[in-house]
């Protein structure tokens, strides 16, 4: 996993992590949450509407949110494209902020007075896109309960949903509702895109701060390549013995490069495949042959059904001699 083609997700994770850490270090977490009475209704602290989606109040919620963004948000961004995903995050955040304020106004009489700080709505809106877009690959059962490969991605955010109820549950429900409104496009939100000027400025000044987004290169070792080369050599030798053309030939990209004095070129270096071909043509030294088993003959015959039995036995005999 990496942030390849997912710079917006990486930026959101960095901002959320840094803001949560700063709020804890400077002891300003009590400024972050939304509370209708007295902060919004009496003190008119409406600036809380702009900062409450930035930071989580505890590290456990931050960890779960970062998990969802890394394993799910990055995949959704690659599906949408970075421009559309950034527009989706902006629209979802604005819509969920308005719905959160409306929920506090409408339901404060029944006990809803606080919505915890953090991008709950954005996380669950991304979860809804994941639920609708990504198909299920397989199902399995644990103690009679049917689960799928996507279940683990639903179980962990459940802690985020119920962690600070009822406020977190309301924020999660608003996120799911925002994701559904975006998905169904009832309000025409899908067509919205951020200004090209904002995209250019972000690409020029913010993207270099994120570092390299390329996935890590996976090297190969000699031990990993050896079985593959042995398998290719076996298939090539059998195919050559049967007179079947094969693409498993030594590399010739340096055929036109002059060789240094005393250095062997690829055409002069002895290879197993070339020696087998020479034996087939009668140019090699006769070797002692042993009769292959019927299982080996049947296996090769099933691979090359048009070859004669005598050719199959001859190719296997030469291969067995070379292996010994």
pLDDT tens, position by position, 158-191: 989 998 889 999 999 999 999 999 999 888 889 9
* d(C-alpha 168, C-alpha 160), whole Å: 7
* d(C-alpha 152, C-alpha 157), whole Å: 9
Q: Is the pTM of this model over 0.75?
A: no
Chosen CATH of 7-210 out of 2.60.40.420, 1.10.260.40, 1.20.1540.10, 3.40.50.300? 1.20.1540.10
CA distances from 16 to 12, 186, 319 (A): 6, 29, 62
User: Could you report the per-residue pLDDT of 208-256, keeping only the tens digit for each?
Assistant: 887 766 666 655 444 444 445 554 555 555 555 555 554 444 444 444 4
Choose among 24, 28, 9, 26: nearest CA to 66.
Answer: 9
Report, as an integer, the average pLDDT of 135-161.
Answer: 89
pLDDT above 90 coverage of the chain, percent: 43
* d(C-alpha 15, C-alpha 53), whole Å: 11
pLDDT value of residue 46: 93
pLDDT above 70 coverage of the chain, percent: 73
Q: Where in the chain is the domain with CATH 1.20.1540.10?
A: 7-210
Q: Which residues contact 296 (CB under 8 A, 6 or more apart)?
A: 316
pLDDT value of residue 208: 86
């Amino acid at each position: 996993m990496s942030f390849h083609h997912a710079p917006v997700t990486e930026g959101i994770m960095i901002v959320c992590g840094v803001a949560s850490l700063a709020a804890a270090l400077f002891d300003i977490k009590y400024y972050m949450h939304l509370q209708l009475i007295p902060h919004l209704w009496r003190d008119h602290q409406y600036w809380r509407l702009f900062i409450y989606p930035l930071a989580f109040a505890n590290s456990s919620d931050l960890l779960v949110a970062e998990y969802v963004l890394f394993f799910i948000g990055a995949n959704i961004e690659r599906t949408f494209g970075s421009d559309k995903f950034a527009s989706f995050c902006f629209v979802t955040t604005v819509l969920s902020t308005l719905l959160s304020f409306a929920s506090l106004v409408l339901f404060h009489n029944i006990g809803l007075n606080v919505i915890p700080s953090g991008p709950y709505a954005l996380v669950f809106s991304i979860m809804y896109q994941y639920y609708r877009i990504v198909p299920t690959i397989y199902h399995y059962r644990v103690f009679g309960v049917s689960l799928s490969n996507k279940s683990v991605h639903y179980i962990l955010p459940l802690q985020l949903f119920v962690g600070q109820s009822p406020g977190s549950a309301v924020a999660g429900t608003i996120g799911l509702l925002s994701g559904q409104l975006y998905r169904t496009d009832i309000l025409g939100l899908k067509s919205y895109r951020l200004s090209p000027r904002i995209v250019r400025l972000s690409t020029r000044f913010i993207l270099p701060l994120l570092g390299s987004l390329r996935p890590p290169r996976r090297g190969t070792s000699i031990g990993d390549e050896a079985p593959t080369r042995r398998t290719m050599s076996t298939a090539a030798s059998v195919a050559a013995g049967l007179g079947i053309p094969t693409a498993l030939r030594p590399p010739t990209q340096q055929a036109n490069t002059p060789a240094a004095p005393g250095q062997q070129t690829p055409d002069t270096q002895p290879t197993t495949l070339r020696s087998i071909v020479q034996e087939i043509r009668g140019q090699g030294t006769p070797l002692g042959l042993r009769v292959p088993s019927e299982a080996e003959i049947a296996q090769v015959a099933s691979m090359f059904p048009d070859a004669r039995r005598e050719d199959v036995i001859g190719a296997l005999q030469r291969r067995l001699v070379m292996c010994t």
